[in-house]
Amino acid sequence: MTSASELARLASLLADESRAAMCLALLDGRAWTAGELAGQAGVAASTATEHLHRLVQGGLLVERKQGRHRYVQLADPAAAQLIEDLAARLDPRPARVTGLRAATASAALRRGRTCYDHLAGQLGVAVTDAMTARGLLDQDGGFALTPYGKEWLVDRLDLDLRSRSRPLARGCLDWTERRQHLAGLAGARLCETFLERRWVTRIGSGRAVRLTADGRAALRADLGLDGLD
């Protein structure tokens, strides 16, 4: 049974702004070096290393070694869900924009981004709503794929929905749109397929993604979605 001290210890991992910034950056689902995360959080490399050690020891991150390089990433989808859920608990407020570049980056994140391994932002919510309207997803009965939805994803998009360790579908509260988008195994497979088919592409090295012309055509034909940027 979880003790109060264990819960407090977990909460303390995100009580530092630099560590919180690193975890938010890692919501893009990729592995980062300590140097990259130091730049993201605006701290010295040695300070970043200390913070990352605490996050790894606390179970929120895992370390990967590749040759001479070391990378860190979120430990698992549950760690990503914890951080995203905490972010969604905050009252929405206008982002502090200090220039045109920052304003452009903020708008891009709102339009479309990855939330660990699934799509979020206006794009993620729009796809989720379109799947619901088409009878592929039931948001009223526990946020689940319908039998038709499972068949459609396997036959139409050739998705592999077999897993013993993850829920097939779950709702994830979007911290910019304040509405649910599709997460779970189905959400991860959709995002993976959209990237592989270049229906969406990443913008720079961050979490933002943009819908391509092929993606707009595919979503219009398959889900009746139109008017997306």
Q: What are the residue boundaries of the structural domains of the chain, listed by start?
A: 4-75, 100-223
Whole-number pLDDT of residue 102? 47
Report d(CA 182, CA 168) in Å as an integer.
Answer: 10
Residue 145 confidence (pLDDT) above 80: yes
Report d(CA 159, CA 35) in Å as an integer.
Answer: 36
pLDDT class for 100, splitting at 50, 70, 90?
very low
CATH level 3 topology of 4-75: Arc Repressor Mutant, subunit A (1.10.10)
Compute the mean pLDDT over every residue in the chain, rounded to the nearest whole number. Answer: 87
Whole-number pLDDT of residue 53? 95
Strand-pair partners of 180: 173
Residues 6+ apart with CB under 8 A from 10: 58, 59
Report d(CA 110, CA 90) in Å as an integer.
Answer: 16
What percent of the chain is predicted at pLDDT more than 70? 91
For 95-137, the DSSP string reads ----SHHHHHHHHHHHH-EEETTEEEHHHHHHHHHHHHHTTSE
The mean pLDDT value for 127-144 works out to 93
Where does residue 206 rank: exposed (0-12), middle (13-18), buried (19+ CB within 10 A)? middle
Give, to the nearest 10 degrees, the angle between helix 121-133 and helix 213-223: 20
Whole-number pLDDT of residue 103? 47
